[in-house]
Amino acid sequence: MDIAKYIGQFILKNNFCYIHGLGNLELIKRPAKHEGKMMEGPSYEVILTSGGSIDDSFANFIATNEQISISKAANALRDFSMQSRKDLDAGKDVVIDGLGVFKQDNGRIRFITNTNFSFTPAGIPVLKNSRQLEDQKNAVPHEPSFPPPTSANSINWSMVIIAIILVVILGAGGYGFYYYKSQQKDNAAPVALPKKDTVIPPPPPPVAIDTTHKDSVATPGAFDTNTVSTYQLVIGEYTARDKAEKRLRQLKIIGYKVDLITNDSANYKILETVTGRTLDTLHMIDSMQRMFGYKGVMIYQK
């Protein structure tokens, strides 16, 4: 699978391409500049930045073009990133055909754009007046065509019909809103008010708090969202053991760290072990849901 080819296709389509372990490639526009009496037009260049959007859009792009699963495409992308890092550490260049090369200088990865790289953005479509085209088609050659004269008393019936339709729509919408609000008002439960002779009991006396044992109250510690922890996420749940074991074997062959737990004879859960920051737990859960196609992904609580 030629991952480098898909990198070029993806960046020309989306103006960026994030590759985990290497960085984020961005397509930027350089303004026009003067060179003596000549002016050079604007140009485009591919640069490498450290930030980027960590999502499955690139893996999904590869999976769509290769007609494979997203997980298989993600594994191929991970293998390409790991091999590229090994080549860069060994002093080799990683070539992206048509775009440029990755280089490593003093432990820092840079991307050098190919000198022959050329990019032309998509043009803006021009909508032509159909009546104007018809007039040009029927015009006598070498003679100017003029629009037909219009009468001062002529009526644009299409505009009249559109105005009537708008009035009917607005009137129907207003009546529907009024009817909806009146139905809500009629269906609202009446508020029970106390009778005049009803005696409202006084509030209960405050409970005395024992402040002599200060050590018995636990003081919560500060919650550090940057703490890196290991989690077990539920990525699948089955009622039949044979189906759960079959799915477990498939994931282990691919290379996932998965386990199978059993709560009872009709509930089998497959767990995936991941490591990340506390701040990124929601993102990890969302990413796992799209990767494994299971909407019930959650952190497993023992």
CATH number at residue 277: 3.30.70.1070
Name the pairing type of β-strands 23-30 and 16-19: antiparallel
The structural domain count of the chain equals 2
46 in a structural domain: yes
Tokens, residue 88:
């860069």
Report the pLDDT value the prediction gives residue 194, as an integer from 0 to 100: 44
Phi, psi of 7 (to 5 degrees): -60, -45
164 in a structural domain: no
Report the pLDDT value the prediction gives residue 206, as an integer from 0 to 100: 46
CA-to-CA distance for 105 and 245, rounded, in angstroms?
Answer: 48
Domain containing residue 268:
228-299
Report the pLDDT value the prediction gives residue 167, as an integer from 0 to 100: 92
Beta carbons of 273 and 259 less than 8 angstroms apart: yes
CA-to-CA distance for 19 and 167, rounded, in angstroms?
Answer: 54
Helix (H) or strand (E) holding 283: helix 281-292
126 in a structural domain: no
Beta strands in 97-134 (DSSP E): 100-105, 108-113
Amino acid at 178: Y
96 in a structural domain: yes
Tokens, residue 184:
């809500």
Domain boundary among 52, 85, 113: 113
3-class DSSP assignment, residue 138: helix
196 in a structural domain: no
3-class DSSP assignment, residue 31: coil
Report the pLDDT value the prediction gives residue 169, as an integer from 0 to 100: 93
- Please indicate, yes or no, whether the overall pTM of this predicted structure exceeds 0.85: no
Report the pLDDT value the prediction gives residue 191, as an integer from 0 to 100: 43
Residues of the chain with pLDDT under 50: 144-146, 189-223
Give the residues across from 95 on adjacent strands: 101
Report the pLDDT value the prediction gives residue 291, as an integer from 0 to 100: 83
Domain boundary among 113, 142, 162: 113
29 in a structural domain: yes
User: Residue 60, by phi and psi: left (phi above 0), alpha (psi -120 to 50) or beta?
Assistant: alpha
Domain boundary among 88, 113, 138: 113
- First-residue to last-residue Cα distance in the chain: 41
Report the pLDDT value the prediction gives residue 43, as an integer from 0 to 100: 77
